[in-house]
Structure formats: structure tokens, C-alpha cells
């Protein structure tokens, strides 16, 4: 009954006990991302192995295109910056933590992080204003 | 009483009739952005001249740093991509329209736009999952 | 198959054909709000009469406390300003339209509306920043 | 001044000291939900007894229709699944915790929870894409 | 320069001119969903064929599990109700339109739709309250 | 590797070691707000001094208009109530904590806070309903 701090709503799957589809995805996550542990996010998803595989295969395709021989118009830092912008806008703490660590690892220093946050914050302002005044589009976007 | 489609909730300030602070900001917007008209967004804000000036000066500083002799770690396309990511996440139609036009003007083609959307969409998924499972952070972000 | 503009996803209940619970709520809405028509919002809810009654009785209690002999610490304009702040933050077009009309009717002029929007926009910025940096609380709120 | 972890912003009303309207609602919550304690959510709302009564009576009518002799087209598990979908989408930690406990109690196992999350996550993706591309409706919804 | 109503920010790919991966996905969408046209959503995604395939394969797996020989704990109506709950919470017009049509097709009548909306609306209220009071969890969710 | 609770994603700038632009803004924050410490929010922003100055000058202009000799149509309590309404709607914990403390300091008691939350909660409901039914506007807002 006593108030305790929130924790994950499912029992995280232990790496040690994983087998089959889960073990294969866990191994691929560590190899693709160069990690020596499986992040909690994936350990939570592993409670439903099909879903784990689906989300990982999509994340791998979008964020690690080189792993499937695809080239991307966006460099890795830009992709992580988009992830951080979405996470800060949604207020997702786990995601902000994770993508901040990623942009730092890719070379963005705290002042550069501040620039990203400045842009994110600015457009959360203009979004509220455009919606709050119901402003109509000026010009149509290019279509070709 | 008949249903009509939404329109801006304030009368947009006409460029022709603007004077003082409003005229000065309108002129600066057109010069800084290389436009030959004032977008509706700014014409709506102009109903409160102080607010117009405040939002414009912040947007100018963040999005046009070269205009104030400041250098930025982020290039103009990256900044507009962040703006689009925030706008798509918030579902702000005016903003999506405006920032899509901007990224296109800066050289992103429809397939590249699709890559941006793929990243935005992916992290709206992972945000919902991390929040939906209340996943706890794995590692603390770097602090220096 | 041709694209058409969105419209309500249910057939709005006509005031003329309403009976029983729906007719009673419609009459109360018009009397309490001093309107000579029933807004579309309530006509959509009327497709489920129990839900119509539930939402209306709650809105009446919160927004028209004098109708139930209750006094409120908040004046009517403050209550409508909160409604507008929530609606602009959520980007709900119908709601922004409706609550903007209400604050105007209660005496707020376009420049005052600009002040409200300035506060709404500012705190959408600071919310994104506090979440984006995961800032921890400074002080605990008062508890008594 | 030292950073401490967040806690409720009001002093939770103790069950022991409750009287009048608050005591009556507390008793009804425990009886209707089969609980032997009053959840913190209701203890926070009890700082404004009118609001407590309003929210509880609405929740009781929507989530416990049998208590008022009403039949529902939705079974209890479906209703809790909707609550969880809304809470995960909004990123509300208390709510995710509470509705996850409820769906588990109603028989959904961790893999089934994973299916719910898969649907929630998928449509947070498609929502971001439909808004991000401003896609127009294909067909109008049925109206009868 | 004249204000016009928003339209999709990319040129929708015509079904007639589609080839390769896009044509294959378009055909699968129509076959799996029993449609005689390709919804605008997919025609917008088709501007990036890889992304189209990725989103469709995930949606097909989650929403049409029988197509891949998988059984689901959730019936089709429950899955569409979750999609609608997410879409209404996010305020995504295209999505609300589309999923309302789907739940109607699966047999939910307007009054039943009203019940779904009542649950969605109620928990948007309780989410705002739990977050607004920063209520701490009562009990930990089951973990097994 | 062990899970730890989230903390700010940047090292907060110490007041003692601040100099130049940062020291000047810190001093102005304390003087304008009558505080004897610098809140964590500003210490996080200080990792990018330009951004710190930009956000503070905007917040000062909007929330402390008297400091720049401007009069406001909104009193200080109303402004803080808007800030709280936005923060509760966005689910921003730091912000809810901070603005709850502010409204309490400005004289709102817990029951009055309950009234604010009642209005915030109500319109999160109606927003979800208006968006969920795609209700069209009844009347256009005044334009003058």
C-alpha cells in the first residue's frame, strides 16, 4: 500500500535466460549498437517476442541503414537529434535519457545540445501559437 | 449558425496598414527570410505587437544565427528538420506545411522527407512503448 | 473515393427531433449559456444520451457554478482562459474556436488574447526544456 | 533547496480523518472497486470535495455501468485497455501503473499486454505520419 | 500567396503508375483489407518505398495477425478501438476518420461509439489530474 | 549498468562558478523573482549561455511585465494559473511542481487549486471529444 517509485510494469527479461527469437534479437542489438548489455527498453519488449522482433527490425532499418546495405540522406547524428526532438516534445524521460546519451556519444557537446533544445523549444512555442490562433497555411508545399 | 470551416481567430494585420514596431518586424522578417510577403503566422501575432517582436527576435536568433554574427553547430537544414519533427509530433498543420516547404527549399527531396518521417514515426512508437511500460533508464547521461 | 474535407464522424442530432433526456439537456444548455442554438459539440454527444448528460452536468458544475448556488474562487473569464490554454496546448481546433469566442465575449480584446497566447506559448517552451533536460524539482510544493 | 524526488503537490487526504461528502465517496470507491484502501489519486482530489464527487460519479458511471443498472456494449477488460491506451499515449506514469494493474487483474498476461502495446505504439506512428504528411481523408465516415 | 486549405505535403503516388515494391505493397493492402482503392495514407508513404514497406509490414503483422498465421488475444474490434482511442487522444483527424469508419464496419453503432468516446474522454481527464497533482503510484504492477 | 533514477541530462551550472552572461542572468533571476537561489531549470539552460539569456528575457517580459514598465491585462495569479494549466496538460513534472508552488505563494489554497484542476481536466475531456468526433465549428470567432 505504501507509495513507492514507479518501475517497469512488466518483469524485464533477463539476458541470461533468453532463448530462441529473443536471444537472437538481443544478440543483434548488442552487435549492431556495439553495446555490452541489453537496454531495459528491449528487455521489456521481450515479454512479447513477436513485438520485440518487429520493433527492433524497424529500428535497425531506420537507424542503422548501413547494416542492410542501404544508404541514407541523413547522417547518424541528425537521426539521433530527430529522436531527441521527438522525445523532448513528448516528455518521454527514458527516451530523452537514451537519445541524449547517443547524441553526446556522436560528438555533440553540452552547448550544442543547448542549440538542439533551443530549436525544439522554439517550435513547441510556434506550434502552440499557430494552433492557438488557428492560422491558415500561406502557401501550399511543393508537390513533386 | 451554419458550420463553416475554421479560420484564424483574430483578424490578420495587413502589411499595408502596419506601422511602428509591427512594420519594422514585418520588414525584418521579409529581409531575413528572403520573402516577398509576410506569412499569416506573423500577421496573426501582430495583433499584439510586443509578442510579435518577442517571438520574432527569438526565432531570428535561433534559426538565423548568422544574422547576429553567431555561428551554430547545426546547419540550416538540420534546424528545419527539427522544426518539422516537433510539428509532426504535435500534429500542427500550419507548422508542418511551413517547415515541409522549408526543408524542400533547402534541398530535401520527397524520398529524403520520407526518411525524416520514418525517424519521427519510429520514435513516436518507442516513446509510447517506453512510457507504456514505464521503462527505467539504463545508464545516466554524460555530465560534463 | 474522392478526397473531401473532414466532417463530424457521427450524424449530429437535430434539435427539432430531440426528445426525453436529450431534449432536456439541449434546453438546459441553451438556457444556462444564453444561446439560441445548440452547438455542434453537444449535438454530436447526443448520439449517446447518457454521455451527453454526464459531460453537460460536469461542464455546468465546473463552468457555471452559480447555476447550482456554488461560489467559485475563479471568475468566468479566468475559467475560459484556462479552457483556451488547454485547447491551444492540445491543438484542438473546435475548442480553440469556441473558447476564443467565449473570452472575446467576456471582454478580452485581441491584444489581451495575445497576452494569453504569449503565456501559453512560453510555457510550452519551458515544458519542452524541463522535460528535454529532465530537470529535477528544486523545492517541494507546500502541503497544507 | 536540495533536489528531492517529486511528490504529490497537495497533502493527500487521510481516509481516517475524512467526513461528509469525502467519507461517502471514499466508501463508495472501496465498495465499487472491491479495494481495502483509497488510491492516492482520489486522496489528492479530495482536497476539493466537489471535484472528487464529480470525477468519481463520472468514472463510476463510465467504468462501472452495472452499478447503476446500465448495460454496456464494452466489457470491463476492453474499457481498461482503452484507459491504458490513452495513458500510454499521454505518458501518464500514475495512470499507466494503475491501468496496467487493472488489465492484469482482469486476466491479460504479459504477452497480451505486449499486443496492446503493439497496437498503441503502431498508431502513435501512423498518427505522426498522417499529421506529418497532412494526409486528407479518403472516405467520409458512415452517418446513421 | 492566397490562403488555401491544407493538402498533403507530398504528391500522392498514383496506383496506376506504381511499379516494383510500391505496386506489390499496394496490391497487398487492397487484398488484405478488402479494399478496391489504396487509401491516401499509403499513397503518401509510397514517396519513400522502403518506408511504405516497413510501415505496412508492421501494420499487417499487428492488425491482421491471421494473415501470417498468428493468433491474437485481441479481437479485430478491440484493436480498432485502441487505434481510435490513440487517434482521438492525439487529435489526428485523418486517423479518427479512418478508425471510426473501421469500428463502424466491424459493427459498433453510434451509441457504442459514444461509449468508447466516454472512456477515452474520461481518461484524458484523469491523466491530466494525475499529472497535475503529481500523484504517486499506490501499488506496484504485477511482475510475472 | 544498474538502473538508477533519472537526473538532469546536463551538469547543472553552479552559481558560484558562473561568470559573464550567465552570472548576469542568474543575478537578474534572483532579483526579479525574489529568490535566494537559482532554480535548477536555469542552471541547466546555462550550459548554453545564449539560450539561457533568450529564454529568461522572454520569461521576464511575459511574466514580469512591470519589470520593463509594461502593464498587463492579466494579473500575476492568472498568468501562473495558465502556466499550471499548460504544464498539467503536457504532464511536465518539474513545471507542475514549480507553478503549483507559485500559485500557492500567490494565495490560492488547495481547494482553489482543485478548481483550477477541475477546469483543466474538464477541457482535456472536451478536447478529446471534439477531436474524437471531428466536430466542426459552429460560429466564427469575432474578428476585430
Whether residue C142 is predicted with pLDDT greater than 80 in this model: the reply is no
Instruction: Flag whether pLDDT at B4 surpasses 50.
Output: no
Q: How close does chain D come to C70, measured CA to CA in Å?
A: 10
In this predicted structure, the answer to whether residue C32 has a pLDDT above a threshold of 80 is: yes
Q: What is the mean pLDDT of residues D15-38?
A: 95
DSSP of D62-112, one letter per residue?
Answer: HH-GGGGT---SS-HHHHHHHHHHHHHHHT-HHHHHHHHHHHHHTT--HHH
Q: Are F68 and F15 in contact (CB under 8 A)?
A: no
Question: Is 90 exceeded by the pLDDT of residue D2?
Answer: no
ipTM of the complex: 0.92
Measured between CB atoms, does D89 come within 8 Å of chain B?
yes
Mean pLDDT for chain D overall: 91
Residue A34: its pLDDT value, please? 92
Residues of chain B with Cβ-Cβ distance to C96 below 8 Å are: 9
The mean pLDDT of F3-26, rounded to a whole number, is 85
Rounded-to-integer distance, Cα D90 and Cα D92, Å: 6
Chain E contact set for F89 (CB, 8 A): 128
A97 near F CB under 8 A: yes
* Residue B16 sits at the chain D interface (C-beta within 8 Å): no
Report the gap between the CA of D144 and the closest CA in chain E (Å): 7
Chain C residues with beta carbon closer than 8 angstroms to that of B6: 93-94, 97
Question: Which residues make Cβ contacts (< 8 Å) with residue D100, sequence separation at least 6?
Answer: A9, D84, D113, E141
Q: Is B128 on the interface with F (CB under 8 A)?
A: no
Asked if the Cβ–Cβ distance from E9 to B117 is below 8 Å, we say no
Residue F114 has pLDDT above 60, yes or no: yes
pLDDT at B82: 98
List, as one string, the DSSP characters of C7-21: --SSPPPPTTT--HH
Contact C95 F130 (CB under 8 A): yes
- D91 vs B93, B122, B131: nearest CB: B131
- Smallest Cβ–Cβ distance between B51 and the set C91, C93, C114 belongs to C114
Interface of C with F in 50-79 (CB under 8 A): 55, 58-59, 62-63, 72-74, 78-79
Q: What is the largest CA-CA distance in chain F?
A: 60
Establish if D131 touches chain C: CB-CB under 8 angstroms: no
What are the tens digits of pLDDT across the range D58-92? 999 999 998 888 889 999 999 999 999 999 999 99
- Residue B83, C-alpha cell as written in the block: 522544426
Cell numbers that stand for A116 in this block: 538542439
Q: What is the mean pLDDT of residues F27-47?
A: 95
| Residue of F15, F85, F118 to mutate for D, most D C-beta atoms under 10 A | F118
Q: A53-62, E63-72, E94-103: which has the minimum mean pLDDT?
A: E63-72
Find cell 551550472 and name the residue. F13
pLDDT of C1: 31
Contact F5 D5 (CB under 8 A): yes
Q: Provide the grid cell at F11.
A: 551538469
Share of chain D above pLDDT 90, in %: 83
CB E100 within 8 A of CB D135: no
CB contacts of A6 in chain E (<8 Å) are 137
* Residue A8 contacts residue A16 (beta carbons within 8 Å): no
Mean pLDDT of C64-82: 92
Q: What angle (nearest 5°) sits at the alpha carbon of residue E89, between those of residues E87 and E93? A: 45
Output the CA torsion sign for D18, D21, D26, D27.
positive
> CA angle, corner E17, sides to E14 and E23, nearest 5?
90
The per-residue b/e assignment along C34-70, b for 16 or more CB within 10 angstroms, e otherwise, is: eeeebbbbbbbbbbbbbbbbbbbbbbbbbbbbeeeee
Within chain A, residue ranges assigned H as helices are: 20-33, 40-45, 49-63, 76-90, 93-105, 110-132
pLDDT tier, B87 (very low <50, low <70, confident <90, very high otherwise):
very high
Q: Touching A: which chains, 3+ CB pairs < 8 A?
A: B, C, D, E, F
Rounded-to-10 torsion of CA C56, C61, C62, C67: 110
pLDDT tens-digit profile, chain A (144 residues)? 333 444 799 999 999 989 999 999 999 999 999 999 999 999 999 999 999 999 999 999 999 998 888 889 999 999 999 999 999 999 999 999 999 999 999 999 999 999 999 999 999 999 999 999 999 888 666 556
pLDDT computed for residue D138 by the predictor? 84
- Spatial contact of E47 and E11, defined as CB atoms under 8 Å apart: yes
Q: Name the residue of chain B whose CA is nearest to A100's CA.
A: B141
Residue F139 has pLDDT above 80, yes or no: no
pLDDT for position D139: 66
* pLDDT above 70 (res E37): yes
- How distant is the Cα of C134 from the closest Cα of chain A, in angstroms? 7
B139 pLDDT exceeds 90? no
In terms of CA atoms, which chain F residue is nearest residue C100? F141
Least confident residue range of D90-94, D138-142, F14-18: D138-142
Contacts of C92 in chain E (CB under 8 A): 91
Chain C residue at shortest CA distance from E6: C5
pLDDT 10s digits, B30-82: 999 999 999 999 999 999 999 999 999 999 999 999 888 888 999 999 999 99
Mean pLDDT of F116-126: 97
- Answer yes or no: do F4 and B140 touch at CB < 8 A: yes
What distance in Å separates the CA atoms of residue C103 and residue C98, rounded to the nearest whole number? 9
With CB atoms and an 8 Å threshold, state whether C115 touches B48. yes
Subunits with 3+ Cβ pairs within 8 Å of C are A, B, D, E, F
Q: Is C29 on the interface with F (CB under 8 A)?
A: no
Amino acid at each position: 500500500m505504501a507509495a513507492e517509485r514507479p518501475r517497469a510494469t512488466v518483469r524485464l527479461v533477463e539476458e541470461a535466460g533468453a532463448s530462441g527469437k529473443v536471444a537472437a534479437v538481443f544478440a543483434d542489438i548488442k552487435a549492431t549498437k556495439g553495446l555490452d548489455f541489453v537496454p531495459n527498453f528491449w528487455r521489456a519488449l521481450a515479454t512479447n517476442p513477436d513485438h520485440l522482433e518487429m520493433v527492433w527490425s524497424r529500428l535497425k532499418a531506420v537507424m542503422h541503414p548501413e547494416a542492410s546495405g542501404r544508404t541514407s540522406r541523413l547522417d547518424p547524428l541528425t537521426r539521433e537529434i530527430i529522436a531527441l526532438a521527438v522525445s523532448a516534445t513528448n516528455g518521454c524521460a527514458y527516451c530523452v535519457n537514451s537519445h541524449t546519451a547517443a547524441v553526446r556519444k556522436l560528438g555533440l557537446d553540452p552547448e550544442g545540445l543547448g542549440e538542439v533544445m533551443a530549436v525544439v523549444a522554439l517550435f513547441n512555442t510556434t506550434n502552440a501559437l499557430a494552433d492557438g490562433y488557428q492560422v491558415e497555411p500561406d502557401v501550399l508545399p511543393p508537390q513533386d
